[in-house]
Amino acid sequence: MSRKERVDARSNRSAIVAVARDAFAREGLDVPTREIARLAGLGVATIYRHFPTRTDLVTAALADHVAACRADMRAAYAEPDPWTALASAIRRFAAHQARSVGLVQALFGTQDAGDPFGDDRRANALLLRELVERAGVSSRDVQVALLAIASVRGSRGISREAAIGRLLEMLLAGIEAGRPRS
């Protein structure tokens, strides 16, 4: 393989990952590989040469986002105030949801494409469970809040991001209202 071919291959791989990341963020993990190839200006065979399986493509496209989620959860967990820690974790979840539907599907959904992130899912779930216990709130309320945030799609006149932001504030107020007072 010549040097030019290796540079082209790296460039193609980078383009595929960038396009897949954007497509998964907007539309979720069900974006067809053929559509990703079209958006990248490449053939489907080029995608499969770099990413033999759909899981390989999802993993490459979401790896940076997953690492950011892991860091966010650890930062929330490090917060000493129990309510601030939990609210921070929920806010960060909402921010990631607003940015990427596919990321949330990979980390919190049942999609097979998210299987490589199983360890991250379990670790985040354990940290969240501890945050909920520390804050003394209902785990069911937090679970319902996260599901509600993840279900937002937006509609005419209101963007998904704006809808998530407003819903987030209402949910946090409701969860906090149920907190025991010391």
Domain count along the chain:
1
> Averaged over 91-118, what is the pLDDT?
81
User: Which CATH number is 165's domain given?
Assistant: 1.10.357.10
Residue 122 CA: distances (Å) to CA of 22, 90, 108, 119, 174: 25, 16, 10, 5, 26
Residue 182 lies in a domain: no
Give residue-wise pLDDT tens across range 34-48.
999 999 999 999 999
Residue 9 lies in a domain: yes
Residue span of the structural domain in which 68 resides? 3-177
Quickly state the pLDDT bin for 4 (edges 50, 70, 90).
Answer: low
Radius of gyration of the chain from its Cα atoms, rounded to whole angstroms: 19
Give one DSSP letter per residue of 114-164, joined into a string: GGGGHHHHHHHHHHHHHHHHHHT--HHHHHHHHHHHHH---BTTB-HHHHH
pTM above 0.85, yes or no: no
